[in-house]
Amino acid sequence: MLKDYKYHIWLHVIVLIFGFTGILGKLISVNSYLLVWYRVLIGVFFIGLYFLITKHSFKISKKILVKTCFIGVLIALHWIAFFEAIKQSNVSIALVCISSSALFTSLIEPIYFKRKIKSYEFLLGIVIIIGLYFVFSFEFNYVLGMILSVIAAALGSWFTVLNGLLIKESNAKTISFYELLGALSVVSIYLLITNFSDFSQFLVPVADIKWLLMLGIVCTAFAFIVSVEVMKKISPFTVVISVNLEPIYSVIIAVLIWRESEVMSGGFYLGMAIILLAIFMNAFFKQRETKKRKKIISE
């Protein structure tokens, strides 16, 4: 039985790991720029090591490399905004607001894939805005964190859509490696410019090292490698539904660890429920569309 559901189990393990990223963002004391720099540095090193061990090719065309580097910049900005949102508010608020990425995807995807916005995407977008309204209204003390989370959601949606196009042109693992390398490059340039005369700024407290290693190795390198393999075996609908559980996992873990600072008002949980309902409904409609398309093709 476990063998039959092996990839489904691994999928939920990966989603749980992704959910734990926010927890680590709160545990790590260094600023968001340095946190992201160490994350991608460790991630690139271990993914590169994995490529060498498995003899996976590093080869990539110049055209694809330019595109992956641009996406890497978006990924870096996304992570910086996300971790700063956690530091300015808390894990629960950051994860719920970042769930609004479904709204941004519904607006960005039609531009790149040259299609009209579907009516249900427009309606669900309004529902998500209503959910965000409740979150903002009842947790106004954390407005900066919420704004940063929404920015992170928009950036996350943008690079996800671009990845959807790029994945058709090259190998998924290779693309992801160079995207992280692009993210590492842009954050490195920023940190070198801002800390040119004081390299001691790159030092981190001893207490942060174990969390940074976990973030870079487990939540980045390991999660990336396993998720690529899992997605080869499981339907996109199952993946989408499972990934939507990430904020739920994160909020539960955060409440268990930091009960005093993570337990929010009733309005917050109402907004959270509305946003998650919209996300699951979006997945349902997309699955129904896929089935209808397959039926038409078979006929």
Give the residue extent of every domain in the chain: 32-298
Distances (CA, A) of 165 to 151, 170, 175, 277: 22, 10, 12, 27
Find the Cα–Cα–Cα–Cα dihedral 254, 256, 258, 259, rounded to 10°. Answer: 120
> In sequence order, what E strands does the chain have?
none
Instruction: Compute the distance between CA of residue 43 and CA of residue 24 in angstroms, rounded to an integer.
Output: 15
Instruction: Compute the distance between CA of residue 159 and CA of residue 165 in angstroms, rounded to an integer.
Output: 10
pLDDT value, residue 299: 59
DSSP for residue 222: I
Q: Is the dihedral of CA 16, 210, 149, 95 positive or negative?
A: positive
Per-residue pLDDT of the chain (299 residues; tens, 9 = 90+): 555 567 778 888 888 888 889 889 989 999 999 999 999 999 999 999 999 999 998 999 888 999 999 999 999 999 999 999 999 988 888 888 888 887 788 788 888 878 787 788 778 888 888 888 887 777 677 889 889 999 998 998 898 888 878 877 778 788 889 999 999 999 999 988 887 667 777 788 999 999 999 999 999 989 888 877 777 777 655 666 677 777 778 888 888 888 777 667 777 788 888 888 887 887 777 777 777 777 666 65
pLDDT value, residue 4: 56
Judge whether 32 and 194 are in contact, CB under 8 Å: no
pLDDT value, residue 235: 63
Q: Angle, to 10 degrees, between the axis of helix 6-27 and the axis of helix 246-257?
A: 50
